[in-house]
Structure 1
Amino acid sequence: MTKHFPRPPATAAAALTLTLALSLALTACSSSGDRAPETRSASPLSHIHGLGLRGDNLYVATHQGIYTPDADGSPVPVGDRRDDFMGFTVTADGHFLASGHPAPGADGPADLGLVASTDSGRTWREKSLAGKVDFHALDTARDATVYGYDSANGLLRVSADGVTWDDRAALRALDIAVSPADPGTVLASTESGVARSTDGGRTFAPGAGRVLAYLSWGAPDALFGVDPDGVLFRGTGGGAGWTRVSTVPGGAPQALTVVDARRLFVATGDGVYESRDAGRTFERRMAVKATAGDH
């Protein structure tokens, strides 16, 4: 039986914030043909959509392509593509998977579908669903199964090879996280709390308990979530409960990636922060400055 945990009254504002974030996530990215031309520069960066680690190198997926910090923490562009990478993850073998929209003026369909890079984001190749899907959240299981949240259709899609996809549950979510120990266990952040699936995302129990914006499950004992106000929580019981850890610097969160039980990265309004003590303290690894009108 799925247990439902009542939402503490203090989370009501967070729930409202997440509701607004969900509405923006589901509607903000229209096709490139519908968007007004925009000017992009290497810095300041606009909104961050994803974080990943390859070796000890940090990679940041943004509204303007992939970046990595230099020795001083300044963002350095990776490769030549300045696509709006809405979904981004680094697989266990170090490959990059991403989704989103092409840069203004670029050739190709308005939705990237799933694209992949085997050289740390310097070059990309199309894998599937080009022109059909914009994944706003991507994660992979220990068996390399790819989980993607199709924001336009409010649908979880799953693929064993990144090419052929199976449509799973319909839900409104901002982020997903797959258990490193059990590929069938999937969590989703919703406006009513964390929703849990134990059948590979085919069905979800109603969202309940803590209202979180972003989730990441880096190891069996390393489940973390951050709420819309930037408060970091550590999950217990596979997401059945959440323990407050700290408040991340920099304001509202934009992305979260957990490496292991002690190391994690959180992107907020003014930078990407790293913790090496399970979220108790943070150091800024890359400085960013969001520009108006980002999503």
Structure 2
Amino acid sequence: MKKFAVISALSLSLLLGACSSSSNEGKLTPVKSGKKIEDIHGVGVASDGTTYVATHEGLFSTKDVGNSWNKVSSSSDDLMGFNLRSDGTMMTSGHPGKNSEYPNPIGVLISKDKGMSWKKVEYVGKIDFHVLTSYHHDPTIIYGLNQMGTGQYGAGIYKSTDGGKKWSKVEPKGLPGDLMKVYSLLVLPENKNTLLAGTEMGVMISKDAGANWEMFDNTRLITAMTVMPNGKDIIGYSMSDMVSGVMITQDAGQSWTSIGLDLGKDAASSISVNQKDEKQIAVSSFSTSLYETKDGGQKWDQIITDGKMK
């Protein structure tokens, strides 16, 4: 598929990015208009309408579609694998930044106060998960994708059923041998053991918690996806030879309906939906841009462009 090669180049810098961390309690600090950030590793729209952006230098937030921005706490950690769970809890992985209390990598951290402080959970100094996802109906069930493992913490899929305290490793059979060619991972809402993965080869499915995979849809690549607030539908960024953009499926990926935002040669790196307002959606891209809609996709505002905040 002609666009897939573009994704490999676009995502390489994102997947290899690493260089910041922390967990200090703090406050919101206003950021000057036009600030330049390096890499967006995740986006989350909270139930109060605040949009959070996890970057190479910490967490930032906006409540007015990018017209003003705040730095969240004093942390400058490189927040990889950032995910805002359905219960409002944030989880992340990554690397320590300046004056961080953490070793490299920082393992799994969780915040229950909107990123103001982070709690160590597991694998501190051992693993950097570039992708973290949780089961919508029970966010204590977490899957992490360790794409560049070394030693006893090798590459693979890791699963926790207790909020991240204990994990088991899965050797995924059928996925690309190079797990950096896996761009997105999602637990399907109808079954905590059924996963979809957006890979360079197409969309793949596992029905046994990530152990065995088979091709599900080789006509498209899903670079980012999450579950809609109704707990049934899935929203993602789909790319194919025919059409690309943000799309919604109501039948677990069998068919997709576009709601716009075709990014051309760019593509979405993460996507998030307000769990109390399904019309508010935020999408980050591999080119370090951020888009937001508050009307379900009829109008999209670009609030970060090539790393520059509006």
Quote the offset at 1:25 in angstroms. Answer: 5.2
SS at match of 1:176: strand
Q: How far has the Cα of 1:288 moved from its partner? A: 4.9
Percent of residue pairs identical: 26
Match of 1:226 among 237, 240, 251: 237
TM-score (norm 1): 0.80
- Give the structure 1 partner of residue 191 of structure 2: 182
Report if the CA contact (8 A) 1:168-1:203 is conserved.
Answer: no
Q: Is 1:148 matched with 2:144?
A: yes
Displacement of 1:117 in angstroms is: 1.1
Match status 1:16 vs 2:5: yes
CA contact (8 A) 1:248 1:282 kept: no
The within-5 A match list for 1:250-265 is 251-259=266-274, 262-265=279-282
State the shift of 1:22 in Å.
Answer: 5.5
For structure 1, the 5+ residue unaligned runs are: 1-11, 33-40
The alpha carbon displacement at 1:198 in A equals 1.9
Paired AA for residue 43 in structure 2: L
Q: Which range moves more in the overlay, 197-206 or 184-193?
A: 197-206
- Cα distance in 2, alignment partners of residues 227 and 198 from structure 1: 22
Q: Mark the CA change 1:108 to 1:158 in structure 2 (over 3 Å): closer, same or farther.
A: same
- Structure 2 gap ranges (5+): 21-30, 150-154
Q: Which residue of 2 aligns with 1:205?
A: 214
Q: What is the aligned counterpart of 2:56 among 63, 70, 84? A: 63
Change (3 A) 1:239 1:97: same
CA distance in 2, matches of 1:196, 1:120: 32
Partner letter of residue 267 of structure 1? S
What is the distance in 1 between the residues matched to 2:288 and 2:68? 12
Give, in whole Å, the separation in 2 of the partners of 1:191 and 1:122. Answer: 36
Which SS does the other structure have where 2:2 is aligned?
helix
The question of 1:50 aligning with 2:42 is answered yes
Q: Which residue of 1 aligns with 2:167?
A: 165
Contact 2:237 2:267 (C-alpha < 8 Å) held by counterparts:
no
Q: Distance in 2 between matches of 1:270 and 1:128?
A: 29
Equivalent-residue separation in structure 2 for 1:184 and 1:21 (angstroms): 30
Does the 8 Å contact 1:246/1:279 carry over to 2?
yes
Deviation at 1:50, TM superposition (A): 0.9
For residues 226 and 160 of structure 2, the distance between their equivalents in structure 1, rounded to whole angstroms, comes to: 19
1:264: Cα distance to partner? 2.1
Aligned with 2:215: secondary structure?
coil
Q: 1:252: Cα distance to partner?
A: 3.6
Measured after TM superposition, the shift of residue 77 of structure 1 is: 0.5
Q: Deviation digits for residues 102-154 of structure 1, max 9, x if unmatched?
A: 11453432111100111110111210001111111111112220111112134
Cα distance, 1:189 vs. partner? 1.0
Shift of 1:47: 1.3
Q: 1:31 to 1:68 in 2, by over 3 A?
A: closer
Cα 1:73–1:270, aligned 2, differ >3 Å: closer, same or farther?
farther
Deviations 1:232-251 (A, max 9, x none): 22235311333333225695
Matched length: 270
Name the Cα RMSD after superposition. Answer: 2.8
Secondary structure of 1:145's counterpart equals strand
Residue of structure 2 equivalent to 1:35: none
Alignment partner for residue 69 of structure 2, among 46, 70, 75?
Answer: 75
